[in-house]
Protein backbone atom coordinates (compact mmCIF):
# COMPACT_ATOMS: atom_id res chain seq x y z
CA UNK A 1 0.00 0.00 0.00
CA UNK A 2 1.32 3.43 -0.86
CA UNK A 3 0.34 6.74 0.71
CA UNK A 4 -0.44 9.45 -1.83
CA UNK A 5 -0.54 13.15 -1.04
CA UNK A 6 -2.85 15.41 -3.00
CA UNK A 7 -1.29 18.16 -5.07
CA UNK A 8 -1.99 21.88 -4.69
CA UNK A 9 -5.32 21.52 -6.50
CA UNK A 10 -6.41 18.83 -4.07
CA UNK A 11 -6.57 16.06 -6.65
CA UNK A 12 -4.17 13.26 -7.39
CA UNK A 13 -4.49 10.65 -10.08
CA UNK A 14 -3.98 7.18 -8.69
CA UNK A 15 -3.99 4.07 -10.83
CA UNK A 16 -5.67 1.20 -9.02
CA UNK A 17 -4.87 -2.33 -10.09
CA UNK A 18 -6.90 -5.25 -8.78
CA UNK A 19 -5.49 -8.75 -8.86
CA UNK A 20 -6.07 -12.02 -7.11
CA UNK A 21 -3.54 -11.85 -4.27
CA UNK A 22 -4.24 -15.41 -3.16
CA UNK A 23 -3.60 -16.74 -6.65
CA UNK A 24 -0.38 -14.75 -6.93
CA UNK A 25 0.81 -15.98 -3.53
CA UNK A 26 0.02 -19.61 -4.40
CA UNK A 27 1.98 -19.22 -7.64
CA UNK A 28 4.97 -17.84 -5.72
CA UNK A 29 4.84 -20.78 -3.33
CA UNK A 30 4.61 -23.30 -6.16
CA UNK A 31 7.60 -21.68 -7.89
CA UNK A 32 9.63 -20.92 -4.76
CA UNK A 33 12.59 -22.99 -5.99
CA UNK A 34 13.03 -20.38 -8.74
CA UNK A 35 12.87 -17.38 -6.39
CA UNK A 36 16.10 -15.64 -5.45
CA UNK A 37 17.19 -15.42 -1.81
CA UNK A 38 16.36 -11.72 -1.93
CA UNK A 39 12.83 -12.39 -3.15
CA UNK A 40 12.31 -14.99 -0.43
CA UNK A 41 13.60 -12.52 2.16
CA UNK A 42 11.14 -9.87 0.96
CA UNK A 43 8.25 -12.31 1.22
CA UNK A 44 9.38 -13.32 4.72
CA UNK A 45 9.51 -9.62 5.74
CA UNK A 46 5.82 -9.43 4.85
CA UNK A 47 4.92 -12.42 7.01
CA UNK A 48 4.99 -15.22 4.45
CA UNK A 49 5.86 -18.17 6.68
CA UNK A 50 7.07 -20.57 3.97
CA UNK A 51 9.56 -18.05 2.52
pTM for this predicted structure: 0.59
DSSP 1-51: -------TTS----------HHHHHHHHHHTGGGS-HHHHHHHHHTT-TT-
pLDDT tens digits, one per residue of 1-51: 666 677 777 766 666 777 788 899 999 999 999 999 999 999 999 999 988
Q: Are 12 and 5 in contact (CB under 8 A)?
A: yes
What is the model's pLDDT at position 38? 96
Amino acid sequence: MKAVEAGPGGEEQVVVSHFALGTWLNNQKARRAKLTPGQLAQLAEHGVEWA
